[in-house]
């Protein structure tokens, strides 16, 4: 697929290595090296069926290598990158296509030194390290190499350093994230125009995947959710095999990767193209939750503060509608919000849909209903990329016990809530880049979410279908 990316994968990886090296504390280990193993092709259980290969994220971050069976040695003191390519037998070309020459590999990935994999032990011996950092315990054994006598082995520090590196996106990463968001927004728009009564959830998955495949995005960033009716209240519903009914809601939470960087988008639409009164009411509450939290998203804010803002906004809306009773303060104190919004507001996004780094060392989860599932308690800074995804759900497994609980039930208007137990759920999710602008962020997600816009598009699509 032709794109207008300004920064190649190899140049982006070189920038990442510079950041990586700058974070090492080499005191007492001047000759330290880092040994990392890339991913390999995996198979379906006990068969020869190859699963689609997707590179291990940390290795991809530092090398830009998207192929299997590569490994690398990084030398923080000198800034060198030694890349080790698999030496393919001639038969490989018969089954898998042309074998890359060393010249091709060098031009593509631009390492400081290129070797075949069987040379790794000799390179380690030549470097004579006094400490070896690895990407994971067992990497040295898996690569068939050993450490020099007396050499210290560290299996953890690299992961901590890379987690910190990956929190702050480089320009090359932002290019790819923006491209992924644009392509995924277009695909979600195609699904919006396809939603109708009696269609099947998996058909909507087919529309999204087909649209993205045409644009060259072949890998899902996560297992997509295509949920209608009561399925839309199942937070990680992935069966996607129900026929959509007139009067139901349809929730789509799906995103595909571009060069490893994904989008994570969620929208909720009326299957018949028109929100009912109660659907409109609840959707408006969730949209207000998202608008307020997005407006408050900027460097210096903590994710838990944004989450609590979303919770308060939810309770204000439910109070106004007569679904809950009491004051917002009392409802917050009793965690009533968690009955309707039991997950965290958002998470970091990058090479992984749930990018690492949400909890700095020494920061624990808040042991409180709903809040304990927050994926981050880190203070936001410029360069970070996050999702904002508030929701409202009618989940019988949560509301049933609450109706029977003397304390919680005193805050619930059971006569208004019980008829909605088959309502399903609503979630709206955008992807934001934190920056130093007056707004404090850039919203990469351009997909429509206003009620009037959604209904107008669905009406037009219905007219085209006839």
Write the CATH number for 218: 3.90.230.10
Alpha-carbon distance 151 to 170, whole Å?
34
Q: Is residue 2 part of a domain?
A: no
Question: How sure is the predictor about 464, in pLDDT bands with cuts at 50, 70 and 90?
Answer: confident
Question: How sure is the predictor about 2, in pLDDT bands with cuts at 50, 70 and 90?
Answer: low
Q: Is residue 133 part of a domain?
A: yes
Structure tokens at 343: 């997950």
Tens digit of each residue's pLDDT (9 = 90 or more) over 69-107: 999 999 999 999 999 999 999 999 999 999 999 999 999
Q: Is residue 3 part of a domain?
A: no
Instruction: Answer yes or no: 323 catalytic.
Output: no
Q: What is the 3-state secondary structure (H, E, C) of the chain?
A: CCCCCCCCHHHHHHHHHHHHHHCCCCCCCCCCEEEEECCCCCECCCCCCECCCCCCHHHHHHHCCCCCCCEEEEECCCCEEEEEECCCCCHHHHHHCCCCCHHHHHHHHCCCEEEEHHHHHHHHHHHCCCEEEECCCCHHHHHCCCCCCCCEEECCHHHHHHHHHHHCCCHHHHHHHHHHHHHHHHHHHHHHCCCCCCCEHHHHHHHHHHHHHHCCCCEECCCCEEEEHHHHHCCCCCCCCCECCCCCEEEEEECEEECCEECCEEEEEECCCCCCHHHHHHHHHHHHHHHHHHHCCCCCCEHHHHHHHHHHHHHHHHHHCCCECCCHHHHHHCCCHHHHCCCCCCCECCCCCCCCCCCCCCCCCCCCCCHHHCCCCCECCCCCEEEECCEEECCHHHHHHHHHCHHHHCCECHHHHHHHCCCCEEECEEEEEECCCCCCEEECCCCCCCHHHHHHHHHHHHHHHC
The answer on pLDDT for 430 being more than 90 is yes
Instruction: Indicate if 295 and 414 belong to the same structural domain.
Output: yes
Instruction: Indicate if 152 and 205 belong to the same structural domain.
Output: no
Residue % of the chain over a pLDDT of 70:
98
Q: Is residue 72 part of a domain?
A: yes
Instruction: Indicate if 159 and 175 belong to the same structural domain.
Output: no
Q: Is residue 53 part of a domain?
A: yes
Instruction: Answer yes or no: 43 catalytic.
Output: no
Instruction: Indicate if 316 and 432 belong to the same structural domain.
Output: yes
In Å, how far are 247, 273, 458 from 455, measured between CA atoms?
13, 6, 5
Tens digit of each residue's pLDDT (9 = 90 or more) over 148-178: 999 999 998 999 999 999 999 999 999 999 9
Instruction: Indicate if 85 and 123 belong to the same structural domain.
Output: yes
Query: Mean of the pLDDT values across residues 275-288?
Result: 99
Backbone angles phi, psi at 309, to 5 degrees: -65, -45
Choosing from 82, 215, 347, 378, which is the catalytic residue? Answer: 347
Choosing from 236, 368, 372, 414, which is the catalytic residue? Answer: 236
Instruction: Indicate if 154 and 142 belong to the same structural domain.
Output: yes
CB 114 within 8 A of CB 103: no
Instruction: Answer yes or no: 354 catalytic.
Output: yes
Of 141, 167, 193, the position where a domain reaches its end is 167
Q: Is residue 64 part of a domain?
A: yes
Instruction: Answer yes or no: 343 catalytic.
Output: yes
Q: Which domain holds residue 226?
A: 171-465
Choosing from 253, 259, 304, 352, which is the catalytic residue? Answer: 253
Instruction: Answer yes or no: 48 catalytic.
Output: yes
The per-residue pLDDT for 466 is 67
Residue % of the chain over a pLDDT of 90:
94
The answer on pLDDT for 1 being more than 80 is no
The answer on pLDDT for 116 being more than 90 is yes
Q: Is residue 331 part of a domain?
A: yes
Tell me the sheet residues that pair with 228: 250
Choosing from 354, 381, 418, 442, which is the catalytic residue? Answer: 354
Instruction: Answer yes or no: 393 catalytic.
Output: yes
Instruction: Answer yes or no: 236 catalytic.
Output: yes
The per-residue pLDDT for 295 is 99
Choosing from 215, 427, 430, 441, which is the catalytic residue? Answer: 427
The answer on pLDDT for 222 being more than 60 is yes
Choosing from 109, 226, 283, 393, which is the catalytic residue? Answer: 393
Tens digit of each residue's pLDDT (9 = 90 or more) over 129-146: 999 999 888 999 999 999
Instruction: Indicate if 313 and 330 belong to the same structural domain.
Output: yes
Instruction: Indicate if 207 and 279 belong to the same structural domain.
Output: yes
Tens digit of each residue's pLDDT (9 = 90 or more) over 343-388: 999 999 999 999 999 999 999 999 999 899 999 999 999 999 999 9
Write the CATH number for 28: 3.40.350.10
Instruction: Answer yes or no: 405 catalytic.
Output: no
Instruction: Indicate if 131 and 250 belong to the same structural domain.
Output: no
Choosing from 82, 131, 215, 343, which is the catalytic residue? Answer: 343
Instruction: Indicate if 133 and 59 belong to the same structural domain.
Output: yes
Of 167, 197, 218, the position where a domain reaches its end is 167
Of 135, 167, 199, the position where a domain reaches its end is 167
The per-residue pLDDT for 399 is 98
Question: How sure is the predictor about 465, in pLDDT bands with cuts at 50, 70 and 90?
Answer: confident
Instruction: Answer yes or no: 155 catalytic.
Output: no
Instruction: Indicate if 177 and 38 belong to the same structural domain.
Output: no
Tens digit of each residue's pLDDT (9 = 90 or more) over 36-64: 999 999 999 999 999 999 999 999 999 99
The per-residue pLDDT for 28 is 66
Query: Mean of the pLDDT values across residues 316-322?
Result: 99
Q: Is residue 1 part of a domain?
A: no
Our count of domains for the chain comes to: 2
The per-residue pLDDT for 26 is 67
Instruction: Indicate if 139 and 175 belong to the same structural domain.
Output: no
Choosing from 48, 198, 277, 452, which is the catalytic residue? Answer: 48
Choosing from 175, 209, 259, 389, which is the catalytic residue? Answer: 389
The per-residue pLDDT for 396 is 98
């Amino acid at each position: 697929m032709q794109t207008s990316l300004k920064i190649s994968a190899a140049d982006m990886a070189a920038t990442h290595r510079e950041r990586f090296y700058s974070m090492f504390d080499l005191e007492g280990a001047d000759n330290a090296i880092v040994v990392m193993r890339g991913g390999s092709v995996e198979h379906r259980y006990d068969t020869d069926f190859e699963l689609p290969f997707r590179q291990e994220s940390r290795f991809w971050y530092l090398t830009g290598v998207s192929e299997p069976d590569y490994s690398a040695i990084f030398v923080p003191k000198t800034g060198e990158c030694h890349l080790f390519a698999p030496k393919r037998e001639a038969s490989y070309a018969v089954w898998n296509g042309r074998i890359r020459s060393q010249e091709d590999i060098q031009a593509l990935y631009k390492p400081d030194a290129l070797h075949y994999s069987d040379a790794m032990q000799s390179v380690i011996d030549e470097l004579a390290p006094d400490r070896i950092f690895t990407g994971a315990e067992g990497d040295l054994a898996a690569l068939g190499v050993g450490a020099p006598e007396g050499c210290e082995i560290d299996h953890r520090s690299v992961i901590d350093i890379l987690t910190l590196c990956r929190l702050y996106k480089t320009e090359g990463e932002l290019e790819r994230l923006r491209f992924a968001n644009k392509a995924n927004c277009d695909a979600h728009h195609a699904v919006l125009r396809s939603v109708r009564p009696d269609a099947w959830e998996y058909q909507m998955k087919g529309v999204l995947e087909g649209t993205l495949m045409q644009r060259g995005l072949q890998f899902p960033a996560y297992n997509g959710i295509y949920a209608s009716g009561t399925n839309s209240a199942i937070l990680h519903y992935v069966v996607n095999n129900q026929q959509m009914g007139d009067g139901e809601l349809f929730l789509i939470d799906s995103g595909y990767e571009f060069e490893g960087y994904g989008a994570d988008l969620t929208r909720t639409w009326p299957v018949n193209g028109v929100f009912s009164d109660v659907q409109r009411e609840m959707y408006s509450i969730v949209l207000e939750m998202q608008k307020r939290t997005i407006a408050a998203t900027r460097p210096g804010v903590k994710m838990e503060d944004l989450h609590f803002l979303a919770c308060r906004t939810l309770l204000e809306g439910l109070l106004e509608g007569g679904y809950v009773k009491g004051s917002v303060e009392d409802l917050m104190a009793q965690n009533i919000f968690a009955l309707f919004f039991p997950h965290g507001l958002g998470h970091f996004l990058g090479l992984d849909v749930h990018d690492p780094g949400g909890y700095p060392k020494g920061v624990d989860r808040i042991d409180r209903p709903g809040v304990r599932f927050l994926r981050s308690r880190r203070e936001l800074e410029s360069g970070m990329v996050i999702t904002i995804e508030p929701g409202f759900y009618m989940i019988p497994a949560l509301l049933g016990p609450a109706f029977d609980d003397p304390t919680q039930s005193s805050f619930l208007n059971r006569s208004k809530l019980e008829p909605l137990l088959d309502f399903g759920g609503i979630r709206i999710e955008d992807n934001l880049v934190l920056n130093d602008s007056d707004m404090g962020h850039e919203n990469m997600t351009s997909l429509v979410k206003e009620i009037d816009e959604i209904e107008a598009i669905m009406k037009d699509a219905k007219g085209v279908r006839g």
